Structure 1
Amino acid sequence: MSNINKQKIVDSVPQKGFFGHPKGLFTLFFTEFWERFSYYGMRAILVYYMYYEVSKGGLGMDQTLALSIMSIYGSLVYMSGIIGGWLADRIFGTSKAVFYGGILIMFGHIALAIPGNITLFFVSMVLIVLGTGLLKPNVSTVVGDMYAENDNRRDAGFSIFYMGINLGGFISPLIVGSLMGVSFHLGFGIAAIGMFVGLVMFVLTKKKNLGLAGTTVANPLSPAERKKVFTYIGLGIVVIAVICAIAIPNGYLTFETFVNLIGILGILIPTMYFIVMYRSKKTTSVERSRLIAYIPLFIASVMFWAIQEQGSTILANYADKRTQLDFAGIHISPAWFQSLNPLFVIILAPVFAWLWVKLGKKEPNIPQKFSLALLFSGLSFIVILLPAYFGGTDSLVNPLWLVLSYLICVLGELCLSPVGLSATTKLAPAAFSAQTMSLWFLSSAAAQAINAQIVKFYTPATEMAYFGTVGGASLVLGIILLMLAPKIQGYMKGIR
């Protein structure tokens, strides 16, 4: 165990230099900006790359399969965060995790940038999933390391950091989407360059700006544990390789079975988390009550993200196939619509922060905010079915319908995402605080694992039924949650 305590780490970081915040916030702001630029730029065009014909520069996959793979990819990205967090805590620390993750992401995008075949595509997916799992959760941890526990700048620092995430997510689809018509590989190349720039900035400024932040290993493996863990990891890799070598040629492991497997894991893993924490002797009776209150919030989160994350699948396809892209004298790239979510978050997040403060004691409690999120997300899907209801599915739709759908969903996101992070820290059992945060992110993994199954039902013929059913389910769940809010609040034992 390292003898470097929390205060020593804080003292090693220059505490002034970036808008009144620790100098290291500059390093992490731009590292995350470029990582999100890279990730969201790639994601904005990835589904099109999969199902566009080979003659148009794509891979020529079946459209439904492409939508399922996109959802599974998103699910694996969130699941891999558990591995990334464990490696940082037990083996090499958060700073090295960020660096190694950035390297893997960059090479993943380089693999996509090379005109090749479907093998290179899946190699890139593995690299990006593992890289994002290393970088994404750990860069946030380094931000927290720079502030003393009683530093009142902490929340504002995370707000500035969050702005970097959304700025990267806003700019990249506009740039990469503009290049999509020229070459998918050029767009992926720009994403790789973005990650490279982020890595260079991180390496050049971390020693001066971050001090000891991210350099310590929180709970290092003992030599005996290290030997045992590496043996198990090696055996695991061998077993997986053997299974794949047998199952793939014999047709046992197909895209379909893999999608189904991830779908099962997406539900099974968080269920196991809940059971282990609830039954643990380290969990008190009050904490068990709060865990029970957390279950409906988790289910609501899964429902919300199942709709929100379809921005990169079903709504991306809708933008490409159903939307009038020549509008107001300009030609719109379908990938540009994916800039709407971060743009609306940037604009509206300060408004919501002001609103909650303004409401004071009248502010909705946590379950009520979650129910509002479900009502907004359901409404966003009801809105997008209206063009088909009024004009049929044969004519192209005014792009403002899609803009309105994204806007309404963001209203829900701002009721759920920051509130969910806060609620997780409050309701988590003391012995499982970090793991409960991992559980929160698994709600997104579960949502996209479910999406991989339900996107199969989307076709032009079923468009209205699809949006109506999924949106209606969210509305019904939102109403049920609103009715149960007082009961759930009681189980929270004083947490509001």
Structure 2
Amino acid sequence: MEAAVNTELDAKRKEEQAQIDKIQSEHCFIGHPFGIGIVSFKFFMTSLTSYGMSAILIYYFYATSPEGLGLTKVQASQMITLNSALGSIFSVIGSYMSDRVFGNRKAYRFVNFTGPFLYFLLAIPGLGMTGVIMQYALGNVNAMICGSSLYTLMGKLYAKGDKRRDGAFAITYVLSNIGAMSPVVAGTLAKVAGYHFTFFVLGILGALGSLVYLLFEKRAFGPIGMEPDDPLPPAQRKKAIMYLIVGTLAFCGFLAAIFLSGVATIANFSNTVSTITLFLPAGYFVFMYKSKKTTREEAHKLLYIIPMFIASSFAMMVWYQATTILAIYAETSVDLNFFGHEVSPTIYMTLQAIMAIVFGSFITGLWSKLGDKQPSTPWKMGFGTMLYGVGTLIMILPFQLYAPGVKVSPFWLVAFYMVVIIGEGISYPAGSASASALAPAAFATQMMQTWSMSMTAGASLSNLASNFYKEGSETIYFLLIGGSTLVVGLVIVLLSKKLAKEMGFSKQAA
């Protein structure tokens, strides 16, 4: 009887592997598997909604009541980066749950059902800060269940050594940035119809993206990602789910207690969370490195992706300046008059999306043309990070050239975005693809989540830096941020040959 069961299981595994091999060999979406098309559409819709919300959320936070919440500008900036930091902490749990309890597909399916409500909660007039708290709570529950499952599913559409992998991350980067042109529309809509109506429209778009993914999920992935990569025994899975529920309720109760009692404020809680998230990735790298489930070869390569992680964190610190301090600067200090019409400051987020499409497409084509002669992945990461630093240093000039209160030319922000977006187009796909390629087999989703924490580490650095931001001190502020980022990128460039060799990319050009 046991032999018959084993034979049946072997036959099922062979059948599933045959389906996986067939999916991985597909070339029906511009040379890539069909699933990349579905993932790209999902990225496109997600970027429409998330960029649209990001563009107006900080203005909603500090707009006067009843249009907004009436927070101070510093509090508004801290609320933005706080949510990102919390998401990072809870996504670590989500990546563990995805790898060991739910599997990538089930975890991401849940998020597709609940995701649109992140916008609908903000669309309800009268909820105010309560609606924001509920939205933050739901977003972090999603993070605790899903983690970085979508990026992991992308990686699983390719066999080991498939050279199309880098191209897939570049494709989704470009397509997601097409959706990122939504900020100017969202900003204009908010100005005309109000913030709540704009959040409702974004929720409808999010629901459309989820619907398409759910309809084509089975065709796109087949058996890929249906089971956890490193499953817990069934009894332990149930315990893990119970601990997740109890822990979530306990944490919500804790937050309610400290805020209602006045023990915590937005500023000190935000700073505390930001500090924690700076150390969290280091702990997770150590955990994966020392795990018995990580082979010595995997562990060795893992060490050499850490410098790239640090570079990405500094680059993201710059990026969060664009969504906080520079977003406020765009509204208060930049001439927004365009041929006699006042435009929304969110136009700059749309402008950077257009640049991302143009420069991203050019860079992707350049790497394809260069083939084996293209720069190594670490070199791309380092040079792209250097450009983030240069872009920030450019912003010193208007503060030196113009008196406070003078509305400056929009071309200063245009120059900032141009340099930074070129850096992003070079470094972002390289970093994501390398994390996918070097992920230990037992930690596929957790590795992608750990890599994505570079974004949150950057948000945390930006949040901590914002405590030192004062009007009149902009030159020193941007000099420290831009200079440190430039130096970190330069170090990676200088070490790129060594890093490429130790990461197993020695065949790449240095």
User: 1:272 maps to which residue?
Assistant: 283
Match for residue 390 of structure 2 among 376, 379, 400: 379
Q: Does 1:102 align with 2:112?
A: yes
What secondary structure, in the 3-state scheme, does the structure 1 residue paired with 2:435 have?
helix
Q: Quick one: percent identity of the two aligned structures?
A: 32
User: 2:6 maps to which residue?
Assistant: none
Match for residue 183 of structure 2 among 173, 194, 198: 173
1:297 is displaced (CA, Å) by 2.0
CA distance in 2, matches of 1:130, 1:234: 9
User: Residues 180-220 of structure 1, C-alpha deviation per residue, up to 9 Å, x if partnerless?
Assistant: 21201111111111111112323344455554445444444
Q: Does 1:439 align with 2:450?
A: yes
1:413 maps to a residue whose letter is E
How is 1:58-457 mapped onto 2 (pairs within 5 angstroms)?
Answer: 58-116=68-126, 117-131=128-142, 137-146=148-157, 156-170=167-181, 172-182=182-192, 183-207=194-218, 210-281=221-292, 287-356=298-367, 363-429=374-440, 432-457=443-468
User: 2:3 maps to which residue?
Assistant: none
Per mean C-alpha deviation after superposition, the further-off stretch among 484-493 and 69-78 is: 484-493
2:360 maps to a residue whose letter is A
User: 2:480 maps to which residue?
Assistant: 469
1:125 is displaced (CA, Å) by 2.0
User: 1:478 maps to which residue?
Assistant: 489
Per mean C-alpha deviation after superposition, the further-off stretch among 209-218 and 334-343 is: 209-218
User: Residues 423-481 of structure 1, C-alpha deviation per residue, up to 9 Å, x if partnerless?
Assistant: 33455555545433322111111111121111222233222221122112222333444
1:166 is displaced (CA, Å) by 1.7
2:456 maps to a residue whose letter is A
1:176 maps to a residue whose letter is A
1:424 maps to a residue whose letter is A
What secondary structure, in the 3-state scheme, does the structure 2 residue paired with 1:240 have?
helix
Note if contact 2:149-2:445 (Cα within 8 Å) is conserved in structure 1. Answer: no
1:124 is displaced (CA, Å) by 1.2
CA distance in 1, matches of 2:106, 2:320: 29
CA distance in 2, matches of 1:181, 1:386: 31
Compared with structure 1, are the counterparts of its residues 158 and 419 closer, same or farther at alpha carbon in structure 2 (3 Å cutoff)?
Answer: closer
| Structure 2 gap ranges (5+) | 1-8
2:361 maps to a residue whose letter is P
1:70 is displaced (CA, Å) by 0.6
What secondary structure, in the 3-state scheme, does the structure 2 residue paired with 1:305 have?
helix
CA distance in 1, matches of 2:279, 2:322: 25
Per mean C-alpha deviation after superposition, the further-off stretch among 83-92 and 368-377 is: 83-92
| Structure 1 gap ranges (5+) | none
Compared with structure 1, are the counterparts of its residues 337 and 77 closer, same or farther at alpha carbon in structure 2 (3 Å cutoff)?
Answer: farther
Compared with structure 1, are the counterparts of its residues 368 and 265 closer, same or farther at alpha carbon in structure 2 (3 Å cutoff)?
Answer: same
Compared with structure 1, are the counterparts of its residues 370 and 237 closer, same or farther at alpha carbon in structure 2 (3 Å cutoff)?
Answer: closer
CA distance in 2, matches of 1:205, 1:430: 26
Per mean C-alpha deviation after superposition, the further-off stretch among 123-132 and 355-364 is: 355-364
CA distance in 2, matches of 1:202, 1:361: 34
1:404 maps to a residue whose letter is A
What secondary structure, in the 3-state scheme, does the structure 1 residue paired with 2:408 have?
coil
What secondary structure, in the 3-state scheme, does the structure 2 residue paired with 1:113 have?
coil
Q: When the two structures are aligned, how many residues end up with a matched partner? A: 494
2:98 maps to a residue whose letter is A
Note if contact 1:78-1:442 (Cα within 8 Å) is conserved in structure 2. Answer: yes
Note if contact 1:145-1:213 (Cα within 8 Å) is conserved in structure 2. Answer: yes
RMSD, aligned CA: 3.2
1:29 is displaced (CA, Å) by 3.0
Compared with structure 1, are the counterparts of its residues 469 and 297 closer, same or farther at alpha carbon in structure 2 (3 Å cutoff)?
Answer: same
CA distance in 2, matches of 1:264, 1:113: 32
Compared with structure 1, are the counterparts of its residues 359 and 19 closer, same or farther at alpha carbon in structure 2 (3 Å cutoff)?
Answer: closer
What secondary structure, in the 3-state scheme, does the structure 2 residue paired with 1:397 have?
coil
Compared with structure 1, are the counterparts of its residues 481 and 137 closer, same or farther at alpha carbon in structure 2 (3 Å cutoff)?
Answer: closer
Per mean C-alpha deviation after superposition, the further-off stretch among 111-120 and 96-105 is: 96-105
2:468 maps to a residue whose letter is F
Q: Does 1:460 align with 2:500?
A: no
1:44 is displaced (CA, Å) by 0.9
CA distance in 2, matches of 1:432, 1:205: 26
CA distance in 2, matches of 1:245, 1:410: 39
Q: Does 1:50 align with 2:90?
A: no
User: 2:5 maps to which residue?
Assistant: none
CA distance in 1, matches of 2:426, 2:441: 25
CA distance in 1, matches of 2:291, 2:310: 22
Note if contact 1:72-1:262 (Cα within 8 Å) is conserved in structure 2. Answer: yes
Note if contact 1:322-1:395 (Cα within 8 Å) is conserved in structure 2. Answer: yes
CA distance in 1, matches of 2:492, 2:166: 29
CA distance in 1, matches of 2:335, 2:394: 17
CA distance in 2, matches of 1:22, 1:246: 49
1:230 maps to a residue whose letter is I
Compared with structure 1, are the counterparts of its residues 313 and 212 closer, same or farther at alpha carbon in structure 2 (3 Å cutoff)?
Answer: same
Q: Taking structure 1 as the reference length, what is the TM-score of the superposition?
A: 0.88
CA distance in 1, matches of 2:237, 2:24: 30
1:329 is displaced (CA, Å) by 4.2
Note if contact 1:10-1:145 (Cα within 8 Å) is conserved in structure 2. Answer: no
Per mean C-alpha deviation after superposition, the further-off stretch among 371-380 and 63-72 is: 371-380
CA distance in 1, matches of 2:215, 2:373: 48
User: Residues 405-430 of structure 1, C-alpha deviation per residue, up to 9 Å, x if partnerless?
Assistant: 01100121123211212333455555
Note if contact 1:101-1:133 (Cα within 8 Å) is conserved in structure 2. Answer: no
Compared with structure 1, are the counterparts of its residues 411 and 96 closer, same or farther at alpha carbon in structure 2 (3 Å cutoff)?
Answer: same
Compared with structure 1, are the counterparts of its residues 5 and 81 closer, same or farther at alpha carbon in structure 2 (3 Å cutoff)?
Answer: farther
User: Residues 43-94 of structure 1, C-alpha deviation per residue, up to 9 Å, x if partnerless?
Assistant: 1100010011115x11100110110111122233344433333333334443
Compared with structure 1, are the counterparts of its residues 91 and 313 closer, same or farther at alpha carbon in structure 2 (3 Å cutoff)?
Answer: same
1:269 maps to a residue whose letter is L
CA distance in 2, matches of 1:278, 1:208: 35
CA distance in 1, matches of 2:165, 2:303: 29
